[in-house]
Structure 1
């Protein structure tokens, strides 16, 4: 395991954390030359995910410093390898969470490479050549073309960036649940948490004609949910009477909350045979009582990001329905402030770093 290999000859400027303080500072490093299966991308924008906080602070004990975060990347292709036929110079593209997988296991062979045992991530992963991967808090990136997607021309590159993680993370379980089918609306779905993931889930649900309820511990979110995002209902989960009134009313619930909480009261909102999908990643075990499962024949399952096929499908769907993330733009010198605000849930709903200084651009 090495930071670089002899093939890493391209000097790149970016921003990295060097220890568990999580402080981000300018960082000059090396990227590999563009290989036969690679594309080189000039990064325009990079979204800021809550996962970035966990990595820069080593909350999970797996960080390899220095770490260059960022896995919600949009940019323009500047170079393509000889084996690359589906991209060309000038294409608008996106890079999400995945950088490499084994390409041979049952999951890779069935377009579920995000569940490959050997999956490596866009940053803080180990690439095939043994080098540590660096993410999108940087000016450019070299990526294997199999882990790159096209960004539809109709989508602005800045507001599309968080779709590469937040978007596909909610798309995959909603699509698995049969909720994102044209003409298939009419389900009653709940979204727990109105943040970077939750607000996209509300948009997806409404685009396909479903009745969407936002479930939150914050009374202040009701106005945002209904008037800003078009949610049909708001359930304050700290109010027992509201929770009781909505008992057995929902077909499907997507739980995006990354803090420890009990699933019991949320499960009671589901109809018999209802499904609760977890996409948040609390650092402590959740409370899961058995009775709401047993007496409602309910299912609790998890879901992580999505495959490259699903990511491209999600991007195409967003292009068709003109769905983007609600974002707040920041400059690179505001990264530390934005990370702290993100940790405090003080953003509506996703920070995006203007890497290339392209705020005036129409891209």
Structure 2
């Protein structure tokens, strides 16, 4: 099937119209008509080659919600007409220890997991093409059930990356009632972290560099907001956090947050800065048996768990809908953090384009 798409032809050219020859579904594949696709900061990093290894043409997009158009003969979990999602992965080796544990994002096979866009396709095209397109064909193992109502579908799309990227560490480090949890940064990732930590029953403190965002943090579900550039506000919370999730994708001093952890507390990083963070001081770590950790998206099983939890609790992302043709303007605004909190592309605008 020939599908309309938007692609970057190089790191310096704007995204523009492109056509993809999407494969007909194989025995275990699901063909999906894409309804909405979220715009992740990773899309911009990839399109501009700010991360290594990018190949062109590049069709970004890994926050996909759509409707099943066709299924292969051996597909058992999906039927034509189902509402589904596709996140950051469309393949993995499926037989290493990580994959057996349901943690495909840490696949130990020779190629690792296959990214939804910019990933190597074994024996086929030089790279996978993502959700800035009207259709996609994916192995059913990497397709998720969407149980939200139709009116929420656009706002569900960012859950496939921003949602699972925050959910996975919150669950791994057992965030819940009785835990004091910090969320650093109130953006695409951070606003989901606040919502999810609150829904899990934790005491949630949001950290922001801007005092003007305090009211917004409380609206999202934080119990308290702290200005991270105010030494007195930060000192008031020294040694009190069980867990802090740092979503900021800019280089900054981590010591300000490790000192806020209790003994055995963990600061987990999910934001990936363009330039490395300054090296953290050892003393706050060794004198409190504190840890700095990292977390990468989430496995397929926990992504489904997250989607089901969000449907049950009425949780979606805060979004601004855009037309496909406005993606470059959206990228420009995203660089300036001028979005609350995720752009989502209405793919009907791509279908209707000449």
Equivalent residue runs for 1:61-76 within 5 Å: 61-76=52-67
**1:154–1:322 Cα contact (<8 Å) kept:** no
Deviates further, 23-32 or 88-97: 23-32
Pairing 1:345–2:340 present = no
Q: 1:137 aligns with which of 132, 136, 153?
A: 132
Pairing 1:312–2:304 present = yes
Write the deviation string for residues 109-143 of structure 1: whole angstroms up to 9, x where unpaired.
Answer: 12111101321100000123332210000000111
Q: Distance in 1 between matches of 2:20 and 2:137?
A: 13
Q: Which residue of 2 aligns with 1:302?
A: 294
Q: Distance in 1 between matches of 2:276 and 2:214?
A: 28
Q: Which residue of 1 aligns with 2:114?
A: 120
Q: TM-score, normalised by structure 1?
A: 0.92
Q: Which residue of 2 aligns with 1:331?
A: 323
Q: Distance in 2 between matches of 1:191 and 1:293?
A: 19
Q: TM-score, normalised by structure 2?
A: 0.95
How much has 1:23 moved relative to structure 2?
1.1
Q: Distance in 2 between matches of 1:289 and 1:268?
A: 10
Q: Which residue of 1 aligns with 2:158?
A: 162
Q: Which residue of 1 aligns with 2:29?
A: 38
Q: 1:290 aligns with which of 274, 282, 290?
A: 282
Q: 1:272 aligns with which of 260, 263, 268?
A: 263
Matched pairs, number: 344
How much has 1:11 moved relative to structure 2?
1.0
The two structures, once aligned, show a CA RMSD in angstroms of 1.3
Misfit runs of 4+, over 4 Å: none
**2:29–2:138 Cα contact (<8 Å) kept:** yes
Q: Distance in 2 between matches of 1:61 and 1:52?
A: 13
**1:152–1:316 Cα contact (<8 Å) kept:** yes
Q: Distance in 2 between matches of 1:23 and 1:214?
A: 35
Q: Distance in 2 between matches of 1:112 and 1:248?
A: 32
Q: Which residue of 2 aligns with 1:5?
A: none
How much has 1:185 moved relative to structure 2?
1.1
Q: Distance in 1 between matches of 2:319 and 2:259?
A: 33
Q: Distance in 2 between matches of 1:208 and 1:88?
A: 32
How much has 1:235 moved relative to structure 2?
1.2
Equivalent residue runs for 1:168-317 within 5 Å: 168-179=164-175, 184-226=176-218, 228-287=219-278, 288-317=280-309
**1:258–1:282 Cα contact (<8 Å) kept:** yes
**2:324–2:349 Cα contact (<8 Å) kept:** no
